[in-house]
Every structure is written in structure tokens, then in C-alpha cells.
Amino acid sequence: MPPAPSPPLHGLVLAGGRSTRMGRDKGLIVYQDLPEREAAARRLQPFCARVFLSLNAEQAANANPDFPFFVDEIPGGGPLSGLLTAFRHHPDHAWLTLPCDLPFLTENTIRFLVEGRNRQRVATAFRGADGWPEPLVAIWEPAARSLLQTAFGRGDGPRRVLIETETWLLDPPHFAEFRNVDTPDFE
């Protein structure tokens, strides 16, 4: 009997936050020729069948029509809202997530994650410099959906799911690429 086909991989740029530390929409800041949420989507395209932006309702009103998006169905639910919304629309797909505030993350690092993907685990993620899993640069398999829903109901975030389950952890090739740009100090 041949092995079951692996779930298709879709990309999701998590950009629906309020950007309170930055003081303006982080996803619209231009670092490398495009607003960062669109640049992040482009970085995911070589690895995914389709790529979507995760936006809040206000952002969706002015979204670029060249980039398909979901409106977060749980306002104020953070990245977990975006991921749960994506799973609701495509429950049988795995999701490669990327936040909109990591402009230094390269395609090579994303490729390393995709090539290291373990489809038998709930998720494949990078181990952060602090040793904890990085939940927003990860591949979430369809089996993660119910665990994420449970976590949301408990008030937990996606990192808690990675910690409490059998997550496949990889050491990133370059920690410097994970420099989070979420305050005006980095502009």
C-alpha cells in the first residue's frame, strides 16, 4: 500500500495585529521595495501552493488585490486567530507561517525549514536562541488544528501548543535573521 500523500503546504503571513509597539501597521513598512507583509508573502511563494495574508478587518479594507487574504475571524486573537481562520478555510492543508515583522529572514532559512519538515509531527518549528520553539516561523500540520482551538479556549498561544506536543524542532542556520522589527527603534 503506498504511503498517504502529504498535505499540501499553504503559506500564511501573520499581519493582522494592531502594531501597538510600532505605533503604525508593521506590515505596511517598506524595508526592501515592498510593504513587508507583501515581501513576506513573496518569500513564501517558492515553497507553497498558495500564499495568503492574515489581516484584521481594517487592513482588509485597503488590501492589495494581488495578494489573497483572510480576515481574522477572532478580532484581537493575535496570531492564533489568523492560523485558526486559515485552518477553517483549508482544514486539510499544512500551513507555513511567517510574521510580517521579520524582514531579515531569507528564503534559504525558509527552505531549511521546509526541507526539515516532519509530517508525522503536529508542527515543525525552529528552536529560538532562548531554547523555546519559535511559533510564528513554523509549519503547522492539519493535526494541529484541534490543539490550537483548545489552546485558544484556554487563553494560551501557539507556543504553548509547540511546547506541549511532539514538535519537530530545528536549529536555525542563522539566529540573526530572527531579529524582530516591532518598535520604531528598528526603522
Per-residue model confidence (pLDDT) at position 174: 74
Residue numbers of the domain that contains 178? 9-186
Kindly report the pTM of this predicted structure: 0.86
Indicate which CATH number applies to the domain containing 15.
3.90.550.10
Query: Average pLDDT for residues 76-92, to the nearest whole number?
Result: 90
In a domain, 3, yes or no: no
Number of domains comprising the chain? 1
In a domain, 121, yes or no: yes
Reported as a pLDDT band with limits 50, 70 and 90, residue 140 is very high
Count of CB atoms within 10 A of residue 136's CB? Answer: 24
In a domain, 52, yes or no: yes
Q: What is the 3-state secondary structure (H, E, C) of 85-124?
A: HHHHHCCCCEEEEEECCCCCCCHHHHHHHHHCCCCCCCEE
Strand partners, 10: 50, 95
| Whether the Cβ atoms of residue 157 and residue 135 lie closer than 8 Å to each other | yes
In a domain, 1, yes or no: no
The pLDDT tens digits for 89-133 are 999 999 999 998 888 888 999 999 999 999 999 999 999 888 999
In a domain, 85, yes or no: yes
